[in-house]
Amino acid sequence: MKIKDFKTFIIGNPPPSFGGKYWIFLKLTTDTGIVGFGEAYAIPFHPNVAVKMIEDICERYVVNENPFQIEKLWRKIYSSGYTQRPDISISGVLSAIEIALWDIVGKELNQPIYNLLGGKINDRLRTYTYLYPKPEDKSNVYQDADLAAQRALEYQALGFDAVKFDPIGRYTINDPRDLTLEELDHAENFVRAIRTAVGKSCDILFGSHGQMTPASAIRLAKRIEKFDPMWLEEPTPPANITAMASIAKKINIPVATGERLTTKYEFIALLKEEAASIIQMNLGRVGGILEAKKIAAIAEASYAQVAPHMYCGPIIAAANVQVAASISNFMIIEGLETWSGFDASLLIDPLKWENGHIIPSEKPGLGIEINESKLEEYPYKESKLHLEMSD
């Protein structure tokens, strides 16, 4: 069996655009007619440029290759251009290709991918969601603590026992910064309101995006630790692991991070420094499914937990499920509300979400079937990237 053809798709994610402004899919087809899908996460160029990167790599390294040679192809692509170092662009390309290869292998063997990674160890996967706005909102749920508390109760009623929110505000090109007293007060009041609303039957996850200096993150943590958050996420930017480690060692809240990191090499450095105890790799950036399994093993040896990141499309979500089902140190998985929005409409049969949990599919490959007829219906015509930072 060999890879015969490839095709890329840019899917514009219509408003409210939960999961980003667009998603980039890759379709690989073998000479026996088996199709595999992959997805790249947030390559930091316009998607028209990103798909050219994917197509270039597919032309040079993937076409006419055996899809079972995943490790060999991974090394070839990772080494492309004499690099052999973590890079979010090549790793995003690599992730899309690697996920699609696994989808093909699973379909050829008529097995879900988790069975090829050691077997299913988790029958149900606990999920969480951000607190998202509604069209009828009169205020901003990210700034209005009372509205956020109300929304947390609504998600709790749906079956969630964990919700995430980010009350610090915009993330900017000048971060990290020292939070003002006003910002610290706002964050503390936000956490208080949500904890008061949901009680002890729902975990609260404090999200941030590297906005704080270590000193500021420590000040914030001391204010909110009494509300027992499940984690403090990415308190500092990802470039300085030692700075994040200084936070983790001085606060009483677990630190989670990883969505902006890639490959085992960055994660082993993170764990060696004891900078985080909860690992949040994104499978569309980290290097794909097997790389995520390797990172989970490194985390397991460090007694760290895994909580896959997902602010993207349904292919990465399905890949997350395959890995999460097969690891002993799985903690919780991110999703877009109840996994039933626009992302689900691109699937023939959506992933099964019930009472706050995903039930891993027993179907072969990724366990999903893409509705290809819908992929061309949502072109992306804007100039903005998947996510943008403020000035």
State yes or no: cis peptide before 16, omega within 30 of 0.
Answer: yes
- Residue 132 has a CB neighbour count (10 Å cut-off) of 16
Q: What is the pLDDT of residue 208?
A: 96
Structure token digits, residue 296: 């989970």
- Please indicate, yes or no, whether residues 50 and 70 belong to a single structural domain of this protein: yes
Looking at the structure, tell me whether residues 119 and 143 fall in a common domain. Answer: yes
Show the low-confidence residues of the chain (pLDDT under 70).
Answer: none
Using DSSP, state whether 112 is helix, strand or coil. Answer: strand
Show which of 79, 110, 141 is a domain's final residue.
Answer: 110
Identity at 77, one-letter amino acid code: I
- DSSP β-bridge partners for residue 69: none
**Domains in the chain, number:** 2
Amino acid 69: pLDDT: 98
**Nearby residues of 144 by Cβ (< 8 Å), 6 or more positions away:** none
Instruction: Say if 379 falls within a structural domain.
Output: no
Whether residue 281 is found in the same domain as residue 204: yes
Structure tokens at 357: 């949990």
Distances (CA, A) of 269 to 117, 228, 272: 24, 28, 5
Q: Could you tell me the residue range of the domain that residue 275 belongs to?
A: 115-366
211 with 352, same domain: the answer is yes
40 and 171 assigned to the same domain: no
Spatial contact of 351 and 112, defined as CB atoms under 8 Å apart:
no
User: Does 63 lie in the same domain as 121?
Assistant: no
**Res 391: pLDDT:** 87
Which of 110, 133, 156 is the C-terminal boundary of a domain?
110
Measured between alpha carbons, how far is 322 from 113 in angstroms, rounded to an integer?
6
What is the C-alpha to C-alpha distance for residues 57 and 288, in angstroms, rounded to an integer? 15
CATH of the domain at 234: 3.20.20.120
On whether both 30 and 135 belong to a single domain, the answer is no
Residues 98 and 234 both lie in one domain: no
Residue 280 in any domain: the answer is yes
Instruction: Write down the pLDDT at residue 322.
Output: 98
Q: For position 236, what pLDDT does the model report?
A: 98
pLDDT given for residue 344 in this prediction? 97
The answer to whether residue 380 is domain-embedded is no
Query: What gap in Å lies between CA 306 and CA 324, rounded to an integer?
Result: 8
| Residue 345 belongs to a domain | yes
Same domain for 313 and 265: yes
Quick check: is 359 in a domain?
Answer: yes
**Taking a C-beta distance cutoff of 8 angstroms, is the pair 325, 120 a contact?**
yes
- The one-letter amino acid code at 31 reads D
Each residue's pLDDT tens digit, 310-357: 999 999 999 999 999 999 999 999 999 999 999 999 999 999 999 999
What is the value of pTM for the model shown? 0.97
Q: Show Cβ contacts of residue 255 under 8 Å, excluding neighbours closer than 6 positions.
A: 231, 232, 233, 235, 244, 247, 248, 275, 276, 277, 278
